[in-house]
Amino acid sequence: MKLKSILKVVGLTALAGLILAACSNTGGSSSDANTLRVGLMAKSDSEEKRWEKIEELLDKEGVKLEYTEFTDYSQPNIATANGDVDVNAFQHYNFLDNWNQENKGDLVAIADTIISPIRLYSGTKDGKNRYTSVEQIPDGATITVPNDATNESRALYLLQSAGLIKLDVSGKELATIANVKENPKKLDIKELDASQTARSLDSADAAVVNNTFVSEAGLDFKKALFVEVADDNSQQWYNILAAKSDWEKSDKADALKKLIKAYHTDDVKKVIEETSEGLDQPVW
């Protein structure tokens, strides 16, 4: 069944605090227990394909999907909490936890979906990579990492997974350079704005680059020295399906369970792996 996306441009008016939306349905009634309203950010080509496959699988179960695409990351959770959508798929655990704390919310993750792993890239010389493996990074090497709290923490956990450092924190705890307890190669870890780490590659030995800046920097993610692994320390970066805390008591519970089951199929896993070329990785 062909995926039909409906774009809702959603924003908050600072004075009234109202969500403004222009909306339309892809078929079926939103009050129908077998129709799920799904909140998303604008979909990439890969996401378009995976939702087409999910919709195809759910069609056999009698479940229909209606999509609302948001242009502001602050909005999907508000729409979910208000009941304007039944479930959303745009964020990781860390984002949801912070949103709940800041907004006194009680949204919950109902399923893990993917991780979009960050990567460590080799520094360059004369336009060519200096190194082809983590082991080649020399003693005293300079490695640049993003300087904002969440991305710096994620980068440091990445360096730990790569065997370059050891931290004295774990799990959901945010790490800073002060938490580096072992640094056997005496690496010089420098903090830069996330948009600048890729630009540092001609002077640094290596850099952790957010996926947002990989394409514009002309980097080949397939040649990264190290890719973030799915483990206890990276679980906070797993993307999720999120819904109200009482979703299992709602009239949409059965449909939501069918959505989770459809998402967690080998068919969808195959679509993700083939269409994202490894930028997204299933974690269920």
Average pLDDT over residues 122-135: 96
| Per-residue pLDDT tens over the stretch 29-77 | 456 999 999 999 988 899 999 999 999 999 999 999 999 999 899 899 9
All structural domains of the chain, each given as residue ranges with its CATH number in brackets, are 11-116+239-282 (3.40.190.10), 119-227 (3.40.190.10)
Q: What is the 3-state secondary structure (H, E, C) of 184-242?
A: CCCCEEEEECCCCCHHHHHCCCEEEECHHHCCCCCCCHHHCCEECCCCCCCHHHCEEEE
Per-residue pLDDT tens for 271-280? Answer: 999 998 888 9
Which residue, among 53, 34, 31, has the nearest Cα to 43 in the 3D structure?
53
Quickly tell me which residue has 């993700």 as its tokens. Answer: 272
Q: In this structure, are residues 20 and 84 in contact, taking their beta carbons and an 8 Å threshold? A: no
pLDDT for residue 15 is more than 90: no
Give the whole-angstrom CA distance, residue 54 versus residue 103: 31
Task: Say yes or no to pLDDT of 18 above 80.
Answer: no
List Cβ neighbours of 210 (8 Å cut-off, separation of 6 or more): 118, 146, 151, 194, 197
Residue 10 has what pLDDT?
39
Query: What are 92's strand-pairing partners?
Result: 239
- Residue by residue, DSSP assigns 151-177 as HHHHHHHHHHHTTS-EES--TTSPP-G
pTM for this one?
0.79
Q: What's the confidence (pLDDT) of residue 12?
A: 36
Report DSSP state, residue 14.
Answer: T
Instruction: Identify the three-state secondary structure at position 252.
Output: coil
- 28 within 8 A of 35, measured Cβ to Cβ: yes
How many Å from the N-terminal Cα to the C-terminal Cα in the chain?
A: 25
Quick one: pLDDT at residue 23?
Answer: 38
The pLDDT value given to residue 266: 98
Tell me how far apart the alpha carbons of residues 242 and 91 are, in angstroms, rounded to a whole number. Answer: 8
For CA atoms 247, 251, 254, 260, give the dihedral sign: negative
- 3-class DSSP assignment, residue 88: strand
13 against 264, higher pLDDT:
264
Spatial CB neighbours of 36, under 8 Å, sequence gap ≥ 6: 63, 64, 65, 66, 86, 87, 252, 255, 256, 259
pLDDT of 200-235, one tens digit each?
A: 999 999 999 988 788 778 899 999 999 999 889 899
